[in-house]
Copies of this chain bind each other. A is one copy, B any other.
């Protein structure tokens, strides 16, 4: 890393802050909720414009789903750094719990609020912000080539990403990748995430009749869609937390000794989690330590994300529901795949007598990991230590999901995480936000990764 340039880069970052916040406000104002099919085209156009305004060759590439914004920019070397981000956001519901309008960027108490402000619009802006500062210091040219892939379906499972990447393998060729998120923990230590779990997200639905019935008339003799759903769900997982679908654990690779070594070196944030969410305790009596950290990321999950049937308003309505639905999120660990989970789930429900429970696949992707000892990762860790003044926490795997499998396994790239997030950011929840100081540190870190990447010898990250 060219350390001489850093003070000038950092000054440029601070000088450019308000312009980037203004661009972020424009992005947040578009409610690009993929699950609700809102604001997608409009947001893709703005993302393209933000890239074009900064001199990148930018285009909107159609897919079978939401379009991908692709861009590239030349640099002083052929070495290429690929940035992956997404312009879609989670739904803002429940709206009544927001303290300010979710789709109007709002600053208060050193924090910046809005749906998608952190996940992932703020991260995208932070990358542009960092590259602008690096370019300014290098006389208007970047020290390496850059490419951007900014998709519009990350929050609904990145359905199109594997095929998009397979189809554009040459276009997307690069030497390393900066992932869409990252940040610091409660104590200001940067975090390096080296793997993401996979996901298989389904809706289970039952319909027992064409209309709801009077519960008094039908309660003893009609099938009840809500009961059918409950009994079916109950066969998926019991109070012991073990997933009961035969074959579900067959492809699971346990954490390696190196994974466990990295987990052991991570700080314990269990008390912080307990107090932030006000939960009484973790599952299975876990209280923290390496076993909690292992379970958190190396165990497959089966999470009910939503339940819906019959009357949900105030007071009572004596109705026997004709239909019932559950949204269920399976998180996958190496080497599980969504296809295998879906097949096992259908077979299991049929075998348990629940052929009446329909499965709708709402998206998914495979888990993937980057080698913690890759030279690019070592460089990124050094950049983090420099930007934050603290050595990074290195997590061999995190609980969340994203389409990193095609990046690691098709494009053959090492992936580093960096960013503006922190555990209190209420990502996916009401009052999503980032802390402005965290944002600035995240931009400094990203700028250092670009500098460091450009300074690495080609052999360290041979193009795949």
Identify which of A23-31, A128-136, A280-288, A381-389 touches chain B.
A280-288
Min CB distance A216 to B, Å, is 3
Please tell me the size bucket of the interface on A. 35 or more
Given A227-B237, A429-B319, residue A297 in contact with residue B220 (CB < 8 A): yes
- Asked if A77 is an interface residue, CB under 8 A from chain B, the answer is no
| Distance, CA A93 to CA B315, complexed state (A) | 13
**Is chain A's interface secondary structure helix, strand, loop, or mixed overall?**
mixed
Given contacts A283-B221, A295-B221, A353-B239, contact A429 B212 (CB under 8 A): yes
Residues of chain B lying within 8 A (CB to CB) of residue A37? 314-315
Contact of A296 among B211, B215, B221, B426 (CB under 8 A): B221
Q: Which one, A2-10, A163-171, A323-331, A343-351, is touching chain B?
A: A323-331
Residues on the B chain within 8 Å of A305, using CB = 215, 226, 310-311, 316-321
Q: Which residues of B contact A218 (CB under 8 A)?
A: 277, 303, 399
A312 to B308 alpha-carbon distance, docked (Å): 6
A402-428, CB under 8 A of B: which get 1 and which 0? 000000000000000000000000111
Interface residue? A266 (CB, 8 A): no
**A197 CB-CB contact with B under 8 Å:** yes
A215 is contacted by which of B321, B331, B363 (Cβ under 8 Å)? Answer: B331
Find out whether the CB atom of A430 lies under 8 angstroms from the CB atom of B211. Answer: yes
Q: Is A14 part of the contact surface with B, judged by Cβ < 8 Å?
A: no
User: Would you list which residues of chain A between 229 and 252 have a CB under 8 Å from chain B?
Assistant: 229-231, 233-234, 237-239, 241
Given the interface pairs A220-B296, A296-B220, the reply to whether A213 lies near B316 with Cβ below 8 Å is no
Q: Which residues from chain B contact A220 at a C-beta distance below 8 Å? A: 241, 283, 295-297, 299, 301, 331, 399
Contact partners of A277 in chain B: CB under 8 A: 209-211, 213, 218, 222, 322
Whether A262 is near chain B, meaning CB under 8 Å from some CB there, is no
Identify the interface centre among A215, A297, A398: most chain B CB within 10 Å of its CB. A215
A residues sitting closer than 8 Å to B (CB atoms) are 34-37, 90-91, 93, 97, 155-157, 197, 199, 201, 203, 208-224, 226-227, 229-231, 233-234, 237-239, 241, 277-283, 286, 292, 295-297, 299, 301-322, 324-327, 329, 331, 353, 362-363, 398-401, 426-430
